[in-house]
Amino acid sequence: MFNRINKCPFCKSKKSKKIADKKLIRNFYIEEIISDLNISYKFLEKNLESKKCQTCFSIYYSRWFNDFYKKKIFLSIYGQHNMGWQNLYDFKNIGLTPNHGGLFEKLKKKIKIKKYGEYGCPFNGLMFDMVKEEIKKPYNVKKFVKHNMDHLRNKVRNFNTKKNKKKKVVNIPKIKRLYEKFFVIDSSHLIWGKNDISENCSSLGLADKIFDFKIYDANEKNLYKNKFDLFGFFMTLDHCEDALGLFKKILSMSKYVILHAHTNKQITAQHSFMFTKNIKKFLKRRRIYNLDITETIQKDPSRNKGINYKNNEIYLLCSKNKNNIYSYKV
């Protein structure tokens, strides 16, 4: 069930220190894993061992699930990405974009955004802000999302009956697109994908309808022919199997990159690794210039479950060009 991991999943360094506190953070993923695999919390706590990398300062599991169980966790044990779907329904029902504390408006004041990309989860980042601007009239948001969901549902055949009823044609309102959007997926076993479904709609299929983006695989050569004004990793880079490799490739293509990540003192069971606040020091040593903008974010506390996000999350604006970071500060 478990494998030994001898180097940091992020920077690949073997320099590490064992973390004495083995207490696991209990969340719904833990509960689902325990229930589905018919194991106890104590068994899991005993077998998952963690270390702190002395090079990039990340926390990672030095003993974690093997490939078979990794696939099960993100495919069948808990195939849905809760946070992403909650963002979708908040947008559909009450017109709320993901809780990034006005980040999109702040970035727009300093960065001319025309070409924008994201990785991992299409409902976690800034694309809702963009499409809300494109729709223009707030009362049309619910209608637009509903029509796209209905359109996808109508394409699903019911193979349980001999006859399939003729389905009503759904006319999707057309909107003028203001941003060229890109979405990057990969074949990692550490991220939600094939089974990320709600109400007969896959997250990727529905997001493509709502955002109208170009989809690329992270290993696709044509991806790296593009140039972006801004690219976002919103709670997703710590689900990538070659996280630093992908991050560096995207940096070579994008003027700015936003890294939004968990920075808990303890790692949660659905992650192989987790960043700490000191990730900015490691990146700077690698000549990846960055600006910590966490303090400028003002999240709605009613949507953040009372958690002090400034202690547990980080927002870094990164660039390979030092002048880009300097010009953003000014």
pLDDT of residue 171: 65
Note the pLDDT tens digit of each residue in 124-151: 999 999 999 998 776 688 889 988 888 8
Interior/surface letters 183-203, b for 16+ CB within 10 angstroms, e for the rest? bbbbebbbbbbeebbeeebeb
What is the rounded distance in angstroms from the CA atom of residue 133 to the CA atom of residue 126?
11
pLDDT of residue 310: 84
Residue 247 CA: distances (Å) to CA of 162, 241, 288, 310: 50, 11, 10, 23
Note the pLDDT tens digit of each residue in 178-195: 999 999 998 776 676 667
State the residue for tokens 């202690």. 311
> Where is pLDDT greater, at 258 or 205?
258
User: Residue 82: in which H helix or E strand, if any?
Assistant: helix 82-94
Tell me whether strands 180-185 and 49-53 are parallel, antiparallel or unpaired.
unpaired
All structural domains of the chain with their residue ranges? 2-157+166-329
3-state secondary structure 102-161: CHHHHHHHHCCCCEEEEECCCCCCCHHHHHHHHHCCCHHHHHHHHHHHHHHHCCCCCCCC
Tell me whether strands 16-18 and 273-274 are parallel, antiparallel or unpaired.
unpaired
Residue 100 CA: distances (Å) to CA of 166, 208, 296: 42, 22, 10
What is the rounded distance in angstroms from the CA atom of residue 110 to the CA atom of residue 132?
20
Binning pLDDT at 50, 70 and 90, where does residue 311 land?
A: confident
Q: What are phi and psi of 169, to 5 degrees?
A: -75, 130
What is the rounded distance in angstroms from the CA atom of residue 57 to the CA atom of residue 290?
16
Residue 317 has pLDDT above 90, yes or no: yes
What is the rounded distance in angstroms from the CA atom of residue 179 to the CA atom of residue 213?
9
Q: How many CA atoms lie within 13 A of 64 on its CB side?
A: 23
Share of the chain residues as helix, strand and coil, in percent rounded to the nearest 5: 40, 20, 40
Tokens representing 126 are 């800034």
pTM of the model: 0.92
> Where is pLDDT greater, at 160 or 251?
251
Q: Which of 212, 259, 221 is nearest to 240 (CA)?
A: 259
Binning pLDDT at 50, 70 and 90, where does residue 315 land?
A: very high
**Cβ atoms of residues 101 and 129 within 8 Å:** no
**Cβ atoms of residues 95 and 142 within 8 Å:** yes
Residue 158 has pLDDT above 80, yes or no: no
Residue 160 has pLDDT above 90, yes or no: no
Rounded mean pLDDT of 315-328?
A: 96
Lowest-confidence segment of 20-24, 92-96, 147-151, 292-296 by average pLDDT:
20-24
> Where is pLDDT greater, at 80 or 176?
176
Note the pLDDT tens digit of each residue in 228-254: 999 999 999 998 889 999 999 999 999
Residue 123 has pLDDT above 70, yes or no: yes
Binning pLDDT at 50, 70 and 90, where does residue 300 land?
A: confident
**Cβ atoms of residues 225 and 177 within 8 Å:** no
> Where is pLDDT greater, at 240 or 73?
240
**Cβ atoms of residues 10 and 56 within 8 Å:** yes
Mean pLDDT over the full length of the chain: 88
Binning pLDDT at 50, 70 and 90, where does residue 82 land?
A: confident
Residue 113 has pLDDT above 80, yes or no: yes
State the residue for tokens 């992908």. 246
Residue 312 has pLDDT above 60, yes or no: yes
Q: Does domain 2-157+166-329 have CATH number 3.30.1490?
A: no
Note the pLDDT tens digit of each residue in 257-296: 999 999 987 788 788 899 999 999 999 999 999 999 999 9
Name, in order, each residue with C-beta under 8 angstroms of 302's C-beta and a sequence gap of 6 or more: none
Q: What are the start-end ranges of the H helices in 197-308?
A: 203-211, 243-251, 279-285
pLDDT of residue 199: 79
